[in-house]
Structure 1
Amino acid sequence: MSREQWCSSECWSRCMCWPIAIAPLGIFLYHKPTVPKCAKSNYSLWAPTPPLQLKFLLPTAFALSSLLMAAPVSAQAEVSAIYTLEVNRVTKGDVIVLVRGDDVLIPLQDLVNAGLREIGGRREIIQGIEHVSLQSLAPQMTFQRDDANLVLRLQVGAAQLPQTVIDFNPSNEPPGIRYSQPLSAYLNYGVFWNNFEQLTAASEVAISFGGNALTSTLGLTADGNLQRGLTAFRLDHRRHLTTLTLGDAFISSDLLGGGGLWGGIVWERNFGLSPYLIRQPAFDFRGEVTTPSSAEIYLNNLLIRQVTLPPGPFILKNLPAFGGFNRLRIVIKDAEGNQQVFSRNFVQSFTLLRPGLSEFIVAAGAERENFGTENFSYGDQGQFLAAYRQGILNNLTLGARLEGNGDLLNAGLNLSTAIPIGTLDVAAAVSTTEGKLGSGVAVGYNYPGRRLAFGGGVRLLSGNYVNTGLGLGDDRPQLEGFANATLSLGSRLTISGQYFFTNPRDQGVRQQATILAQVQLRRNLSLYLQGSRFLSGSDQPVNQISVTFNYFLNNAVTLNTGWLQQGNQGVPFLNVSRSLPAGVGYGYQGQVLQANEQAFVSGTFSYNAPWSRYQIGYAQAGDTGQAQVVVEGGFVTIGGEVFATRPVQGSFVLVDVPNVGGVRTYLSNQEIGRTNRRGKILIPDLLPYYGNALRIEDQDIPIDFAIGRTELLIAPPFRGGAIARFDVRPSRNYVGRVVILRGSERIIPNLGQLTLERNKEKILSPLSPRGEFYFDTLEAGTYTAEVTYEQLRCTFQLTLPPSDDLFTDVGEVSCSLPDSPR
């Protein structure tokens, strides 16, 4: 019950209105200040101006009232009052309490509604309501009565307050993302004319429906033979993050597993279906505050978030982190200005899975052989592979693998863990084939520091170790290892080094060491110094040194020049390139170098047209030259239409700005092109399942059109299309008058309402006193209309005529009701 409702009903007997007991009713009614916080509107009904003959009693009443109000309440006195309840400085609303001496009895439900938990204390039933003595709750809870402001202040421990959970990554999807999976298909083509003599071609076809895709590639060789590439039917289940593939697929597992290109069936976890999902362990922070507080979260000394914390325990879940070494600092400031700082260092590894999250692959089929030369050549033996990994703890992920065929069997275990000084990955496996046992061990370590990062790994395979990708007669590295390190010296200098070693069973030892220094001389000028040494068996070592300057002329053009010294031979070189834009435009690349007293010159020019891509290139080495002309493009069908376009890369989208041509369209703030005369443009290079940012230029839309959102976030399926329809419509405004006819009676729906409905969309217009209505940004057509006026409801069909005028008056329209019974 609100304060006003309670005052109006019970104030005169329970509102601490002391003058009731000491003065005539007229005097009391005149003494308004003694009624605490009662509504004036209610009070005025009870308090007329007192008659003159009673005014002589006012001084006496006021004096006695003041004495009683000022006197302390005795231990036996019980008075009901309304107080504003505050819990740990947070206002919870008004409550009706019973004041008994120095104690206050408050309804138990009011404390529950204020969020308090585990409430003990002495209980009493007063007028059928369970009350709690606040004095009996000490010392866990203390209270203070502010009778001057009628505020009851409670101070409780944080454990008695509700828990606040702030999840920094509830779904991690950007807000407003739209998943679109209409029926669509495309055909990519490419024609290659080599040296104006040989003609080859390539094509790719894909059909997408319901997020599933059927894809295949086909090529035409110079001698006229057809060459099949990969063919597969892929079914994606985005909610479960799984993909089922029937056909050709590349299979892989852990460091010791086999795989390769198989034809068969594959069922696997596919995190690419939810690219915003954070797979790695997330850090949670728990704490408690007793007053309203604020928290500032710093990651690697950068402020990334500020949150408000109400009193009570709290959890900050899924705090963000970067791959590598992280330093998290949380600064909490309470209402009194006190400050607490919490810090934690931890390592984030991409090989770790958060607890409860798993990844797997189950595959069965046959190895595809002679890929690129034969179309349907598969191995005679069937084979299988199954692997599973599960996040156990924040710093521990375990996995297992089993694979084999009719001749071999291989089983292995693996683990990934985070330690205070880096991450560690370990795998071990055993195999058997033809009665011979084999074994393998792999260990990898990585310290991903911010200034200094280093890592390495080693793999040992026995001579008889086999898996589905490594036969008994195949050569294998019995021992191989690598090491790398990167040192950042400020923002301008980075030094890195790599070392690789392998000892194949059937060949000589190979080693390679490389060191690279990158110097940022200016914002658009950098220097690369690289030296390497390569050893292979008993051959002489090969040393190589290079010096390269990279100069960025603008956002598109890059110039690099330098010197490459290999052994006793020096090679100067010069390269210039302009990147090809995402939309219509051109790009080029040119290179000049001198080697063995022979010049080498090459150049390529590319152009993106709205419906295709063209490229011409030429290379000259000494007296030998070669030219190539390339034409690429595609045809897409989506939304019942066919479009010519540049080759589809990944996925695509049809942007629809209904019937408005010439509107500039942007993908990730890069202009792609303009809509055609029907208001449509196809963009062929989107990322599947990501939120691709699309935008239209509202300045290109006529002024007499209404514009909704000009930006959309669209996520198309794999090898499929999406439709991004922007809410742009002619701003046609309709006015008119409506009357209700009931028999011979003509009723004006004064201040009623007219509702139009079409395609499950409702539009409302209030009616003027004369029954006039007004609708803006409506499309012409027939609508189901309903007039509501007092108790009347009348439905009819309203047709709005097409018009090029900004305002159209449809005149008077009527709705008929049956004559009322007499």
Structure 2
Amino acid sequence: MATAPLAAWAVQRAVLPLTLNGVVKGEVLAVLRDEDVLVRGADLEAAGLQNVAGRRESIGGETFISLGSLSPALHYQLDPQALALNVTAEPTLLASTALNLGAARPSGIDDRADPSAFFNYGVTWRDFGRVDPFGEAGLSVAGSLLSSTFLRTRDGDLARGLSSLTMDERQGLRRWVIGDSFAGAGGLGGSAFIGGLSVARNFSLNPYFVRYPTFGLSGAVLTPSTVDVYVNDVFIRREELPPGPFELRNLPATAGSGATRFVIRDALGRQQDITSPYYLSTSVLAQGLSEYGYSAGLRRDVDAGGLGRYSSPVFLGQHRIGVTDSLTTGLRLEAASALVSGGPAVNLRLPLGELELAGAASHDAGVSGAAGSIAYGYVGRRVSFGSLARGLSPRYSTVSLTPEQDRALIETSAFAGFQLSSRATVTVFENVSDFRDKGWMNRPGVSTTFLLTKQASLFLSVSRLVARPSGSSDAELTAFAGISYYFGSNTTGELFHEQADARGSTGIELQRTLGAGTGFGYRLQGRGGDGTDGMGGMVEYQGPWGRYEIAHDRLDGKDATTVSAAGGVVAIGGSLHATRPVE
């Protein structure tokens, strides 16, 4: 409603500056009447008002809306001296603001698909005798890559490596491969090198795409405000919020248990704190999202020389769907000449932790089998723990596990980690496996890490392996203690001692790793005692056109020397360029 008398205005048109919830919106065309102000509908919409009902009138062929008819959702104040119109609207009448808090694609990036070709080469000279070459060639046209590798096998023969045509669909996050590829079904499934056709959802085609459910905040503000975002008490960023509803999406939270905090301050300095705990699981998919991989072709023997050897047909496929933000279901199927194997899987995000369930059945040349697994994990800021239990029948099979091969009939593992302080962590664990043929083994242990200074840390671990193969029993106690020191410039030194029952050895190592640019790296090490005796060193150089390395190691009286070099050549834009190996 109006708070200034309008009788003196009678009925007339005016162009007035509009302020909406404290934000200057520019000038609007208004019709002034006793006890009311009508504003052109197009101007209200341009100012950010939406879902405006109210009484409408056609004046001069244009639609005007009565501000008085919008009460109580909207209030206005007319200043006749300043000829200004101030409007305060409820959030339901204001446009919503959506902000992406995650890593967004930077502006100005251009995905190029210029025709190009490359050749990577590498050669290793072993003990001044054997020479092992390696090569990789690729041709990229219209975003598709045709590539192949060659190498020298352990038998000394030259062999073709993996050869394929790779085609990416960036919009659909889908990758097609015609030729050789490695396919795996994960979990209770198998894996194989296949020559044929593969198609898979590949989230890495868009590094800014988030496949798992994320967190955020929705609400509304009446005045221009700011919001400060914190994750686990660490400041992330500050954003400006215009009046109206808002939605903050894709909060960059860390995996596991944590807490978010949003501090909202309005134009008058009033503050609102919103704190919420969360559990972020990266094993579940966002609702409605799918992940899959299908491969069909002939099984390839990668150890064969020459052009390669292919054998029987094989198929591997798996598909997962995010049913909700907390539930992902999936199916797996494998098939070969006499094999069918597959089963369902479920991933659940719980209020505290995440749970995975999987089951499987197989039939291979008249022999049936079954398998199942259950896993639980919790990652917290101070405490983390988890466990896994998996069982396989004596003849359960996949494309990479035949009924005749040994397997762990029962396999369990558990761990618990504790952050005692900002400088100390402790982890206890135990692994138990009962193999069909070689028997039962158990390894419990404990490890701890102490941050002594900003550059120095101490690591300690103790474990005991107990094995009972074929009715006998054997046990071994192992321990490790090491101190590492970071000198700066990618250089680290370590002093350590290893003990296996009565056998022990002490060693020292100094290493400098290569950086992203040109420069030298090296490794010097030596150890001695009742265990393994040895010493060695390595020097490497990374230049603009390649990487080069010389290494010599002496272990238990045996010497090994290698000299290697690797580089690449790229053809693009009508010219050739020498470079490091293309990745």
TM-score by length of 2: 0.91
Amino acid at match of 2:129: E
Which digits, 9 at most, give the CA deviation of each residue in 1:75-108, with x for residues without a partner?
9954555543333222333344444433334444
User: Higher mean Cα deviation, 413-422 or 397-406?
Assistant: 397-406
Change (3 A) 1:305 1:582: closer
Match of 1:150 in 2: 83
**Separation of aligned partners in 1, 2:161 and 2:439:** 35
Amino acid at match of 1:619: D
- Report deviation, 1:482: 1.6
Change (3 A) 1:494 1:107: same
Match of 1:162 in 2: 95
What does residue range 420-459 of structure 1 map to in structure 2 within 5 Å?
A: 420-459=351-390
Pick the aligned partner of 1:513 from 423, 429, 444: 444
Match of 1:418 in 2: 349
Gaps of 5+ in 1: 1-70, 651-822
- 1:562 equivalent to 2:496? Answer yes
- 1:140 equivalent to 2:45? Answer no
Change (3 A) 1:456 1:94: same
Of structures 1 and 2, the larger Rg is shown by: 1
**Separation of aligned partners in 1, 2:18 and 2:314:** 72
- Report deviation, 1:315: 1.6
Which digits, 9 at most, give the CA deviation of each residue in 1:474-525, with x for residues without a partner?
2222211222232223331122233222112222112223322111111211
Change (3 A) 1:86 1:176: closer
**Separation of aligned partners in 2, 1:583 and 1:421:** 43
Pick the aligned partner of 1:492 from 423, 437, 440: 423
Higher relative contact order (CA 8 A, sep 6+): 2
- 1:194 equivalent to 2:102? Answer no
**Separation of aligned partners in 2, 1:636 and 1:92:** 55
- 1:553 equivalent to 2:487? Answer yes
Match of 2:572 in 1: 638
Q: Any idea what SS the aligned residue of 1:522 has?
A: coil
**Separation of aligned partners in 1, 2:553 and 2:445:** 30
Pick the aligned partner of 2:528 from 588, 594, 598: 594
Q: Any idea what SS the aligned residue of 2:310 has?
A: coil
Match of 1:233 in 2: 165
Q: Any idea what SS the aligned residue of 2:267 has?
A: coil
**Separation of aligned partners in 2, 1:345 and 1:372:** 55
Match of 2:562 in 1: 628
Match of 2:195 in 1: 263
Amino acid at match of 2:282: F
Task: Name whichever structure is richer in helix by fraction.
Answer: 1
- 1:279 equivalent to 2:211? Answer yes
- Report deviation, 1:422: 0.8
- Report deviation, 1:204: 2.6
- Report deviation, 1:144: 2.3
**Separation of aligned partners in 1, 2:235 and 2:73:** 36
Which digits, 9 at most, give the CA deviation of each residue in 1:16-72, with x for residues without a partner?
xxxxxxxxxxxxxxxxxxxxxxxxxxxxxxxxxxxxxxxxxxxxxxxxxxxxxxx96
**Separation of aligned partners in 1, 2:16 and 2:95:** 22
Match of 1:504 in 2: 435
Which digits, 9 at most, give the CA deviation of each residue in 1:403-449, with x for residues without a partner?
21231222311121211101112212222234444222122211111
8 A contact 2:31–2:38 mirrored in 1: yes
Q: Any idea what SS the aligned residue of 2:45 has?
A: helix
- 1:605 equivalent to 2:539? Answer yes
Match of 1:615 in 2: 549
Match of 1:103 in 2: 36
- Report deviation, 1:202: 2.7
**Separation of aligned partners in 2, 1:270 and 1:74:** 69
8 A contact 1:347–1:420 mirrored in 2: yes
- Report deviation, 1:128: 4.8
Match of 2:330 in 1: 399
- Report deviation, 1:222: 7.7
**Separation of aligned partners in 2, 1:202 and 1:82:** 77
Amino acid at match of 1:509: W
Q: Any idea what SS the aligned residue of 2:204 has?
A: helix
Pick the aligned partner of 1:203 from 124, 132, 135: 135
Which digits, 9 at most, give the CA deviation of each residue in 1:186-207, with x for residues without a partner?
3333333332233333333333
8 A contact 1:229–1:372 mirrored in 2: no
Change (3 A) 1:506 1:98: same
**Separation of aligned partners in 2, 1:388 and 1:79:** 68
Match of 2:299 in 1: 367
Change (3 A) 1:205 1:87: closer
Q: Any idea what SS the aligned residue of 2:309 has?
A: coil
RMSD: 2.7
Amino acid at match of 2:420: L
- Report deviation, 1:298: 1.4
User: Higher mean Cα deviation, 74-83 or 158-167?
Assistant: 74-83
8 A contact 2:318–2:331 mirrored in 1: yes
Amino acid at match of 2:210: I
Amino acid at match of 1:145: L
Change (3 A) 1:421 1:383: same
**Separation of aligned partners in 2, 1:610 and 1:121:** 70
Change (3 A) 1:156 1:272: closer
Pick the aligned partner of 2:514 from 571, 580, 599: 580
Match of 1:820 in 2: none
**Separation of aligned partners in 1, 2:72 and 2:212:** 44
- Report deviation, 1:543: 0.8
Amino acid at match of 1:363: S
**Separation of aligned partners in 2, 1:193 and 1:129:** 85
- 1:461 equivalent to 2:395? Answer no
- Report deviation, 1:132: 3.8
User: Higher mean Cα deviation, 521-530 or 598-607?
Assistant: 598-607
Pick the aligned partner of 2:407 from 440, 451, 476: 476
| Percent pairwise identity | 35
Alignment: residue pair count? 577
- Report deviation, 1:254: 3.2
Amino acid at match of 2:432: F
Change (3 A) 1:601 1:435: closer
Match of 1:755 in 2: none
Pick the aligned partner of 1:409 from 331, 337, 340: 340
- Report deviation, 1:573: 0.7
**Separation of aligned partners in 1, 2:60 and 2:578:** 81
Which digits, 9 at most, give the CA deviation of each residue in 1:719-754, with x for residues without a partner?
xxxxxxxxxxxxxxxxxxxxxxxxxxxxxxxxxxxx
Change (3 A) 1:283 1:186: same
Match of 1:322 in 2: 254
Which digits, 9 at most, give the CA deviation of each residue in 1:587-638, with x for residues without a partner?
2212211133874221222233444443322222454433333333333333
**Separation of aligned partners in 2, 1:109 and 1:223:** 80
**Separation of aligned partners in 1, 2:407 and 2:531:** 40
Match of 1:358 in 2: 290
Q: Any idea what SS the aligned residue of 1:159 has?
A: helix
Q: Any idea what SS the aligned residue of 2:474 has?
A: coil
Match of 1:289 in 2: 221
**Separation of aligned partners in 2, 1:623 and 1:560:** 23
Q: Any idea what SS the aligned residue of 1:353 has?
A: coil
**Separation of aligned partners in 2, 1:517 and 1:328:** 29
- Report deviation, 1:251: 0.9
8 A contact 2:158–2:305 mirrored in 1: no
Which digits, 9 at most, give the CA deviation of each residue in 1:296-342, with x for residues without a partner?
22122122122222222222222222222231222222223322222
**Separation of aligned partners in 2, 1:132 and 1:177:** 44
Which digits, 9 at most, give the CA deviation of each residue in 1:375-397, with x for residues without a partner?
53333x31212211122222222
Amino acid at match of 1:574: I
User: Higher mean Cα deviation, 395-404 or 229-238?
Assistant: 229-238
- Report deviation, 1:371: 1.9
**Separation of aligned partners in 2, 1:528 and 1:480:** 28
